[in-house]
Amino acid sequence: MFKIAKYVMYDILRSKVLIAYSLFLLLVSFSLFSMEENSSKSLISLMSVVMIIVPLVSIIFSTTYFYNAYQFIELLVAQPISRSSILLGEFLGVSVSLLTALLIGVGIPVLIYAPDSTGLVLMISGFALTLSFISLAFFSSVAMRDKAKGIGMSLMLWFYFSVIYDGLVLGILFSFNEYPLEKAVIALASFNPIDLGRIIILMKMDISALMGLTGAVYKQFFGSSFGIIYSLSIMLMWIIFPLLIALRIFRKKNL
């Protein structure tokens, strides 16, 4: 498994896409931090970028990588290696490389300009988002045999989580505006890793006061130790579940 991960990492490093990705993140983060003297303001802007770019790149990159490495995977399947360790090895390789890119691209500027707990939370949710979207990418690429379909599904997933879902939430809130929705809203946030990540960061940024009474409810929930454990475990589930399904399909799949 680790050996496969190592080969995957070498392979990804050769392709230079990852280097471009980390350089892009680095450039964006440095320019955001140097544009604004107040580091918490730039953290908010950086958060917006991270919430859009990181999931998109993670899911598309992983999907294309998986399809490009299809022949290598076929070769590996012919060897006496269990299929789960092949897939997990691939996952590990892609994850480590993308996480490294994020660490270089966002981690270093944050460490320089905003080395506080908010920066840490931003990094943690960035990592979690990367992992969960790689996991979703593996799910879609294992589920679809055709490369175009697989990439299309990945794109759809990204679009769903970053745009459509919030629209749906808005619709739900509109229709049930008269009801007490505190708990429902927390549940709604849990069904989207991007929303969850964003809310955790905003809570940390003391912006919750802006949110009035509802913000206070969020703060009470997400600020408590139970809330932190809850959101972390939900994030973890968003990483594990798609991967588990992918593993299940991959094990029985006729390659």
Partner 1 sequence: MKSLALSCFLLLVSCFFSEAKTIIVCSECKVTQLTTALDLAADFDTILVKKGIYTSVNTEIKKQVVIIGENYPVIDGQEKDEVLVVKADNVILSGLWIKNSKRGSMKDYAGIRVVDSRNVKIINCKLENTFFGIYLANSKNCLISGNHSKGANYGNSDTGNGVQLWKCDSIKIENNHMEGHRDGIYFEFAHFCLIEKNLCEKNFRYGLHFMFSDSDVYRKNTFQNNGTGVAVMYTKNVEMYDNIFRNNWGDAAYGLLLKDISNSIIERNTFTNNTVGVTMEGSNSITFSKNNFASNGYALKVMANCIRDTFMYNNFTANTFDAATNGELRENSFKYNYWDKYEGYDLNRDKIGDIPFRPVSLYSMIIEQMPYAVMLLRSFTVEILNRAEKSIPGIVPETFQDYAPMMKPHSL
148 near partner 1, rule: CB under 8 A: no
Q: Does residue 166 belong to the site contacting partner 1 (CB under 8 A)?
A: yes
Q: Which of 60, 99, 143, 211 binds partner 1 (CB under 8 A)?
A: 211
Binding mask 181-200 for partner 1 (x = CB under 8 A): xx--x--xx-----x--xx-
Binding residue for partner 1 (CB under 8 A) from 167, 233, 251, 253?
167
* Minimum distance of partner 1 from residue 154's CB (angstroms): 17
**In this chain, which stretch among 82-90, 110-118, 168-176, 229-237 interacts with partner 1, using CB under 8 A?**
168-176
Could you tell me which residues come within 8 angstroms of residue 202 by beta carbon, excluding any fewer than 6 positions away? 47, 208
Contacts 24+ apart (CB under 8 A), 52-56: 52/162, 53/25, 53/28, 54/102, 54/126, 54/129, 54/130, 54/133, 55/129, 55/130, 55/133, 55/158, 55/161, 55/162, 55/193, 55/194, 56/158, 56/162
Residue placing its CB nearer to partner 1 in the complex, 128 or 203: 203
User: Which residues, numbered 27-46, are part of the site for partner 1 (CB under 8 A)?
Assistant: 38, 41, 44
Mask for 47-86, x = binds partner 1 (CB under 8 A): xx--xx----------------------------------
163 contacts: CB under 8 Å, gap ≥ 6:
none
Q: Which is nearer to partner 1, 115 or 167 (CB)?
A: 167
Please report, as residue ranges, which positions from 86 to 125 form the binding site for partner 1 (by CB under 8 A): none
Residue of 16, 210, 225, 254 that binds partner 1 (CB under 8 A) = 210
Instruction: Rank residues 12 and 202 by Cβ distance to partner 1 and give the closer one.
Output: 202
With CB under 8 A as the contact rule, which of the stretches 8-16, 111-119, 180-188, 232-240 interacts with partner 1?
180-188
Our CB check for partner 1 shows the closer of 43 and 102 to be 43
Shortest distance in whole angstroms from residue 232 CB to partner 1: 19
- How many residues bind partner 1 (CB under 8 A)? The answer is 36
* Contacts to partner 1 by CB under 8 A: 38, 41, 44, 47-48, 51-52, 162-163, 166-167, 169-170, 173-174, 177, 181-182, 185, 188-189, 195, 198-199, 202, 206-207, 209-216, 218
